[in-house]
Chains A and B, each alone.
Chain A
Amino acid sequence: MEYWKDENEPIKAFVKLFEAAMVDDELTGGLKKVNQLILFDYTENGPNCSFWVDCRNGELKVGPGKPAEEPDMTMSLSADDAHRSWSNKLNPVMAITRKKIRVKGSATGLLKLAPKLKKVAAIYVTVLKDLGWEDKILA
């Protein structure tokens, strides 16, 4: 991995990112509209390298690993590409076309998040700073 020293680091950063997003008014609204249980699967970088976000029924929850229920959508990619993606440095359409991102299930909800990606990237920078990982911030 180019940005992470082990499989735990990205999950720590991404779970924190969603925890921060869940207290941001604008993003909370956007996330609730997604209304899906999503699995972010980075297991190509390690068996435990995954986390889930549950935006169903007006609630917002996030956790490491795999969810207890079957996800509505699974996004599989590398932890490095995920880092680029949350940093708004990876064109998601291009990544999907080139099979860097593989999506299983309905992606309609995901589109509702697309307009908010810039905001997510801003929060991600703060999260990386809070974790003392300034060196991981992509210019």
Chain B
Amino acid sequence: MNGNTGKIINVDLDKGSIETEILPEEYYTKYIGGSGLAAKLFWERGNISADPLSPEAMLIFMNGPFAGLRLSGASRNSVAGRSPLTGNWGDSSCGGYFAPELRYAGYDGIIIKGKAGKPSIMLIEDEKINILPAPEYWGKGTDEANRAIKEKYGKNYRTLIIGPAGENLVKYAIILNEGHHAFGRAGFGAVMGSKNLKAIVVKASGKNMKLADPEKYEELRAELNPKIKEALASDVMRENGTAANLEGGVVSGDVPIKNFTSNYWEEMGQELNGGILTEKYLTKRRACAYCSIACKRVVEVKEGPYAIPEGPGPEYETITALGSLIGSMDLAAVCKAGRVCNDLGIDTISAGGTIAWAMEAFERGDITEKDTGGIKLLWGDMATVIDKILPEIAARKGSLGMLLAEGSLSAAVKTEKDTINYTVQSKGLEVPMHDPRGGGHGLALAYAVSPRGACHVASPMLFMEMGACFYPEIGFEYELEPMTDENKAETAVIAVALGAIENSACFCQFADREIAIPEWVGLFNSVAGYNWDAPDMMKAGTRVFYLKRLINYLFGRTAKDDALTPRILEPARDGEPEGVVINFEGMKNKFYELMGMDPVKGIPSRKKLEEYGMGVEAKKVWRET
């Protein structure tokens, strides 16, 4: 096989068995890799009725075809399976350094089932794969565990590690690579924890890569790397990180404030933006493997109550989720809260979303000190967030920790009051830090139809609305007005396919914005030899989107679950989008129609599935008709 190795590792922790397997090439040509290929494997082999935290649950790590090929942004990795947070299909992408090392070791992915008898790590050294008992790392923060593992095995061993939150099955626990790069969303850290697996460690001895057309690929790489590096957006992100334009986002009303109750807070924009982070706390810029953008931050807060030593710094989502969303504009506190989340192994977006919901519930009197174990939940009280709330969540300790450890939707249900209305989530996944009322109405549609729940990286809708994309070869050559529903359903049809391609190819959205459609096709053909044209590629993307919808359908999700909670759909109360209402149902209905999706079941029609070469899959979901 070209590009991909074609080989995966199957681990059964119950039996202690480890086997390698060659996958059929058709899996790749139809589902690409990354989260698409993971979906295919889950569809074939997953136990739909298994609790995501049970031994039967499948945990899948999957590379894309470009891992390790020294192309900017192209060496990410996907984790996938059933999300413990939402109960639906879940996937999450991570940059860093794991994907190339796994590829060099000879594998495209890992499927893990079962549960180890005691806390363990998985060690991959080329063909030598072992599950090793490792109780010494259990209970440790990600930073300490990462250092200890590297000390024992070597600093070039690449690590995926969970923190105490994963061990304690917090439903939005993360998996961290090199103590910095996160599989952040959907709670796969808890799945790893449920399997008694503290870490996966990989080291390869060589770099054997077989490409379909190495010369053509090198030509493309030589064009694309400088193009990505020199792009304006790359320059801005390298300089000031992904929060570089936070102030502009505040002006347009895109940045959520206090649980999405406000769309404008001028001083916050001036305090939390990436330029200020650079000025005050940045010590180094960092990149994922082979990426010339280097948007990652290393920060140090030298003094004050939130002093932290030099280490990973926050990106836009963290700055906002642990800043404006919970009423803070204290950047030092945000840096510390982000660091604490990393070390405990908690997703900053879901943590911020859940705490913001709790703060509003406390303000309204829907939860009281009786529910929080005497902790007052006040907007912007970062000391309490850092010293009490986050540690209690990670430990599932005390009434507050127990209440918040399963996310905002679960917490709202537990209150037995009408508090779901002000959770801000879709399908149980907390909304990321772009408010569609100010960021672009199409984003509301993208959040709602995303298979994993509210997600800004499931498709490039955000970038398409802001004007950062131009793809005339596939019909996206028109301009969009972010604050209307005009052409948004049509755009979403393209966006879900492109998003599926990106996430299956494990390409970073920041880097691949610079790649034109013919270049995308050229990459797939020169690396993997698919012999695609643009329609073939788009078809593969749509197929991946459809398959994830089918998996969700088997989990009981239907069209009515493609919804947003009322907070996002009520008129914005202030700022640029004040009073504007999103025509959500109109966009959704049109999208369903264009995608050939059943308005009740929420899945593609049998005919549509057959058109996409998914006749076998169609039989499973349309058998009654």
Contacts and interface: CB of A to CB of B under 8 A. Distances in A.
Contacts of B239: 106, 108
Interface string B454-491: 00000000000011111000000001000000000000
A66 interface: no
B504 interface: no
Interface string A107-135: 11001101100100000000000000000
Nearest to B469: A97
Contacts of A106: 235, 239
B250 interface: yes
Contacts of A91: 466-467, 479
A91 B236 CA distance: 17
A97 B470 contact: yes
Nearest to B278: A108
23 contacts: A91-B466, A93-B466, A94-B467, A94-B468, A94-B479, A96-B232, A97-B467, A97-B468, A97-B469, A97-B470, A103-B232, A106-B239, A107-B235, A108-B240, A108-B244, A108-B275, A111-B245, A111-B248, A114-B248, A114-B251, A115-B248, A115-B251, A118-B251
B236 A108 contact: yes
A96 B232 CA distance: 8
A97 B515 CA distance: 11
Chain B CB within 10 A, most for which of A93, A96, A106? A93
Contacts of B269: 115
Contacts of A112: 247, 275
A93 to B, nearest CB: 4
Contacts of A98: 470
Contacts of A97: 467-470
Interface residues of A, number: 16
Closest 10 CB pairs of A and B: A94-B467, A93-B467, A114-B248, A115-B251, A108-B239, A91-B467, A107-B232, A97-B470, A115-B247, A93-B466
Contacts of A108: 235-236, 239-240, 244, 275
Interface residues of B, number: 19
Given A97-B470, A115-B247, 13 more contacts: A91-B466, A91-B467, A93-B468, A94-B467, A94-B468, A94-B479, A97-B468, A103-B232, A108-B244, A108-B275, A111-B236, A111-B247, A115-B250
Interface of B: 232, 235-236, 239-240, 244-245, 247-248, 250-251, 269, 275, 466-470, 479
A106 B237 CA distance: 11
A37 to B, nearest CB: 17
A75 B517 CA distance: 27
A103 B468 CA distance: 15
Contacts of B245: 111, 114
Interface in A64-119: 91, 93-98, 103, 106-108, 111-112, 114-115, 118
A98 B269 CA distance: 28
Contacts of B235: 106-108
A107 B247 contact: no
A134 B470 CA distance: 34
Contacts of A118: 251
A98 B516 CA distance: 12
Chain A CB within 10 A, most for which of B244, B275, B467? B467
A111 B240 CA distance: 10
A108 B248 CA distance: 12
Contacts of B248: 111, 114-115
Nearest to A30: B247
A62 B251 CA distance: 27
Nearest to A118: B251
Contacts of B467: 91, 93-95, 97
A114 B246 CA distance: 11
Nearest to A33: B275
Contact of B244 (A94, A111, A115): A111
A103 B231 CA distance: 9
Contacts of A115: 247-248, 250-251, 269
Contacts of B251: 114-115, 118
Nearest to A111: B245
A114 B248 CA distance: 6
A96 B466 CA distance: 11
Interface in A8-63: none
Contacts of B232: 96, 103, 107
B247 A114 contact: yes
Contacts of B275: 108, 111-112
B265 to A, nearest CB: 13
Chain B CB within 10 A, most for which of A95, A103, A112? A112
Contacts of A93: 466-468
A106 B469 CA distance: 21
Contacts of A103: 232
Chain A CB within 10 A, most for which of B232, B245, B269, B466? B232
Contacts of B468: 93-94, 97
A103 B467 CA distance: 16
